[in-house]
Chain A
Amino acid sequence: DQQVKQNSPSLSVQEGRISILNCDYTNSMFDYFLWYKKYPAEGPTFLISISSIKDKNEDGRFTVFLNKSAKHLSLHIVPSQPGDSAVYFCAVDNYGQNFVFGPGTRLSVLP
């Protein structure tokens, strides 16, 4: 039973447009959420995080939104660039013990 779901395996966006990646989680007790980016043959790279006391966190072109009632978070990338093409993982902090990751969404930014 997946605790973290990313229902879109892939997403294609034109360069300069907005990319929106979505993530749903099942446990309302989760209170710290993160997004990672992964290129082939490399480890995941931390992008941005948000705690449950906030509903939005912004860092440059990246913004994460958290909807606690819907148990949903999203990552917005504006404007999208070809270098953003990668697999994006949503992760939740599992009671401070470890992280639980979603299966990932492959983003392709087309020039």
Chain B
Amino acid sequence: DTGVSQDPRHKITKRGQNVTFRCDPISEHNRLYWYRQTLGQGPEFLTYFQNEAQLEKSRLLSDRFSAERPKGSFSTLEIQRTEQGDSAMYLCAWTSGRRETQYFGPGTRLLVL
């Protein structure tokens, strides 16, 4: 148990549709991260929150992507007008602070047809 769950675990959608993923930390961890992992690559950083504030966004996070963390608890990642290149595993991670180990959830695997 890594202290975070993600929903759904799998999502298949058609190109052009919107999708939303949810990440639920078991407790209100300080920092929450989103990463994306494609085949043959390591996880790539997308964005992170400290409590409810979104502090950093990667250039990978195009205008079609938006993330929220209302009230500093769970977080959502929405992708609008999905493209086939969005197919990947989307991972959520938490940590208690700077320079601390990050613990990952099980991920949401997205397939865009």
**Residues of A at under 8 Å CB distance from B?**
4, 9, 32, 34, 36, 41-46, 49, 89, 91, 93-94, 96-104
Contact = CB atoms under 8 A, between A and B. Distances in A.
A91 B48 contact: no
Given A42-B107, A43-B105, A98 B98 contact: no
Given A98-B48, A99-B43, A99-B45, 13 more contacts: A41-B109, A43-B93, A43-B104, A43-B107, A89-B42, A96-B98, A98-B45, A98-B58, A100-B45, A101-B42, A101-B44, A104-B41, A104-B42
Contacts of B74: none
A97 B40 contact: no
A93 B48 CA distance: 14
Contact of A103 (B6, B40, B45, B104): B40
- Which of A34, A42, A97, A98 has the largest count of B CB atoms less than 10 A from its CB? A98
Interface residues of B, number: 24
